[in-house]
């Protein structure tokens, strides 16, 4: 491992990309501490400290995870990257139903750039709306946070503050979106995913401190939970991480045989290979999309009194939230898999180059076979994702621990961390292998590298 790390910094291009990525992530974290003008950050932090310790979590605690603690202080990056993710969801759904957008998606880089531009416009609209609603809510905090914010002054009254806060928060989201795009283009890894991962990691010290206070291993008399529970939690954590890695790397290999072709005096083909169908083809996308989709109506309900029932029914841990969360994860697993894997195109390419699956006729039969296998593989991955996603809420309720602690024992946080780390490692490894260096493992190889 040490040799691999040394080799990473021997490659000028890779070294430059890593330092560029780290630099922009530092810029992002600095922005998470710059407060929005006119905000009483300490009062807001005290309110969030009470909300995020609730068993099962709250919608505000979930939002604070994705923003890296920025929303609990209402900094310039308080909205985080969630408006962009929501806009991406909307555009991908519209691409599947609007012929013009579907045509653009098939036009290569030009079409994708056009769709990305539409996504940016939608991000601005959502950011303006959410920023204004947050400003209105902060002027009357008891309407959002309930009794914990009674008689607390967080923001000044007046239209001027609303417009200033809306402009500040919208600009912050646009800047984060730009940072993510720059990391993807000129750095290493997926920029948006790395920003979310950085936000989640930034909450780890708080979780460790809370766990230390709860279990108090050096002073058992002050502990509110037995030390044995801590040991069980650590074993569970290791087991869940191992299971997530196994499912993330898991593949169903479809054997493919290529017929021999004679071109001039050379013989082509004749080799046997396989098509890797990943158990979790969609990665962490279903978790992020499902969280963002449920977060929007819950947030709207928090700021609009007549829609308060939305925030009550869609609070993390609530039965309706859990049910919708599972259904959305399963839906987005299939939806994103359908976008990224087209069995008809795969079957046509195989037939074009003389490939076939043993026992399956080329063409339509091959496409139907691949579609059938992918459907079965995806359902197992979707069920696993849904089970891991709701695990923190179950642990929080059964073990009587705060959501701040249990969020790292499964759910959105752990899946994103593992998925993004594996994806980033694969990209770094590909750079190493192109320059004839060993990857992260001398024996075998990481799944996803062919």
Q: For 172-198, write each residue's pLDDT tens digit.
A: 999 999 999 999 999 888 888 899 888
Q: Which helix (H) or strand (E) holds 37?
A: none
- Chosen domain end from 202, 234, 267: 202
Rounded CA-CA distance 15/322 in Å is 43
Same domain, 265 and 360: yes
Rounded CA-CA distance 316/70 in Å is 19
Question: What is the rounded average pLDDT of the residues 368-394?
Answer: 88
Residue 450, pLDDT > 50, answer no
Question: What is the rounded average pLDDT of the residues 111-120?
Answer: 89
Q: Do 236 and 409 meet the contact criterion of CB atoms below 8 Å apart?
A: yes
Q: Is residue 207 part of a domain?
A: no
Percent of the chain with pLDDT over 90: 13
Q: Is residue 217 part of a domain?
A: no
Q: Is residue 159 part of a domain?
A: yes
Tokens of 316: 């993390």
Mean pLDDT of the chain: 81
Q: What is the pLDDT of residues 260-300, one digit of tens each?
A: 666 666 666 567 788 888 888 887 778 877 877 887 777 67
- pTM metric for this prediction: 0.78
Burial zone of 192 (CB within 10 Å; 0-12 exposed, 13-18 middle, 19+ buried): buried
Same domain, 72 and 8: yes
Same domain, 180 and 268: no
Give the CATH number, domain containing residue 436: 1.10.3370.10
Same domain, 90 and 232: no
Chain position carrying tokens 């990224």:
340
Task: pLDDT band for 51, please (50, 70, 90 cuts).
Answer: low
Chain position carrying tokens 């601005």:
124
Tokens of 283: 């990665």
Number of Cβ within a 10 Å radius of residue 146: 13
Same domain, 176 and 306: no
Per the document, the length of the chain is: 450
DSSP codes of every residue in 138-172: HHSTHHHHGGGGTT---S--SHHHHHHHHHHHHHH
Contacts of 60 (CB under 8 A, 6+ apart): 48, 51, 52, 71, 72, 145, 302
SS3 at position 73: helix
Q: Do 362 and 347 meet the contact criterion of CB atoms below 8 Å apart?
A: yes
Same domain, 74 and 13: yes
Task: pLDDT band for 449, please (50, 70, 90 cuts).
Answer: very low
Rounded CA-CA distance 415/400 in Å is 23
Host domain of residue 248:
225-450
Residue 56, pLDDT > 50, answer no
* Listed residue (416, 177, 420) closest to 286, CA to CA: 416
Same domain, 170 and 74: yes
Residue 21, pLDDT > 90, answer yes
Query: What domain count does the chain have?
Result: 2
Question: What is the rounded average pLDDT of the residues 334-346?
Answer: 86
Q: Is residue 57 part of a domain?
A: yes
pLDDT value for 170: 94
Q: Do 153 and 161 meet the contact criterion of CB atoms below 8 Å apart?
A: no
Q: Is residue 213 part of a domain?
A: no
Same domain, 84 and 170: yes
Q: Which helix (H) or strand (E) holds 46?
A: helix 41-52
Q: Is residue 98 part of a domain?
A: yes
Q: What is the pLDDT of residues 77-95, one digit of tens each?
A: 988 888 898 888 888 878 8
> Looking at the DSSP assignment, which residues form a beta bridge with residue 256?
273
Rounded CA-CA distance 50/363 in Å is 60
Same domain, 255 and 187: no
Same domain, 237 and 196: no
Q: Directed axis angle between helix 319-340 and helix 285-303, to 10°?
A: 140
Apex 177 CA angle, 93 and 279, nearest 5: 50
Same domain, 300 and 173: no
- Chosen domain end from 202, 235, 258: 202
Q: Is residue 211 part of a domain?
A: no
Q: What is the pLDDT of residues 409-421, one digit of tens each?
A: 666 777 788 888 8
Residue 406, pLDDT > 50, answer yes
Same domain, 195 and 335: no
Q: Is residue 366 part of a domain?
A: yes
Rounded CA-CA distance 44/39 in Å is 8
Tokens of 184: 């993807």
Rounded CA-CA distance 120/134 in Å is 21
Chain position carrying tokens 């609530």:
318
pLDDT value for 294: 81
pLDDT value for 125: 93
């Amino acid at each position: 491992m040490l040799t691999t790390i040394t080799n990473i910094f021997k490659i000028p291009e890779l070294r430059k990309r890593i330092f560029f990525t780290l630099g922009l992530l530092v810029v992002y974290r600095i922005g998470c501490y710059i407060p929005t003008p006119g905000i009483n950050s300490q009062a807001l932090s005290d309110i969030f400290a009470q909300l995020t310790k609730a068993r099962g979590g709250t919608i505000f605690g979930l939002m604070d995870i994705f923003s890296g603690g920025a929303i609990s202080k209402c900094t310039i990056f308080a909205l985080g990257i969630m408006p962009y993710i929501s806009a991406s969801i909307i555009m991908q759904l519209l691409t599947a139903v609007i012929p013009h957008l579907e045509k653009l998606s098939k036009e290569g880089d030009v079409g994708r750039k056009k769709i990305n531009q539409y996504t940016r416009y939608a991000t601005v609209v959502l950011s303006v709306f959410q920023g204004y609603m947050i400003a209105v809510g902060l002027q009357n905090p008891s309407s959002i946070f309930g009794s914990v914010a009674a008689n607390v002054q967080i923001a000044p009254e007046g239209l001027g503050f609303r417009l200033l806060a809306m402009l500040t928060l919208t600009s912050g989201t646009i800047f984060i979106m730009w940072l993510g795009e720059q990391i993807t283009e000129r750095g290493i890894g997926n920029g948006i995913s790395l920003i979310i991962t950085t936000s989640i990691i930034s909450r780890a010290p708080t979780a460790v401190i809370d766990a230390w206070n709860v279990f108090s291993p050096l002073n058992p008399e002050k502990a509110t939970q037995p030390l044995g529970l801590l040991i069980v939690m650590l074993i569970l954590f290791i087991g869940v991480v191992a299971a997530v890695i196994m499912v993330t790397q898991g593949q169903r290999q479809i054997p493919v045989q290529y017929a021999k072709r004679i071109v001039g005096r050379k013989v082509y083909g004749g080799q046997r290979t396989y098509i890797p169908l990943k158990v979790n083809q969609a990665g962490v996308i279903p978790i992020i999309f499902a969280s963002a989709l449920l977060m929007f109506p819950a947030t709207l309900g928090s700021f609009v009194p007549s829609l308060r029932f939305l925030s009550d029914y869609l609070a993390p841990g609530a039965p309706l939230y859990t049910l919708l969360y599972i259904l959305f994860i399963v839906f987005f697993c299939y939806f994103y898999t359908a976008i990224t894997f087209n069995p008809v195109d795969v079957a046509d390419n195989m037939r074009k180059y003389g490939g076939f699956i043993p026992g399956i006729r080329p063409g339509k039969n091959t496409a139907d076979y691949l579609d059938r296998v992918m459907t079965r593989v995806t359902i197992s991955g979707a069920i696993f994702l849904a089970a891991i996603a709701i695990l923190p809420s179950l642990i929080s309720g059964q073990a009587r621990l705060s959501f701040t602690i249990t969020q790292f024992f499964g759910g959105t946080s752990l899946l994103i961390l593992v998925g993004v780390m594996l994806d980033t490692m694969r990209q770094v490894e590909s750079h190493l292998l192109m320059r004839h260096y060993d990857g992260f493992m001398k024996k075998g190889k990481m799944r996803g590298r062919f």
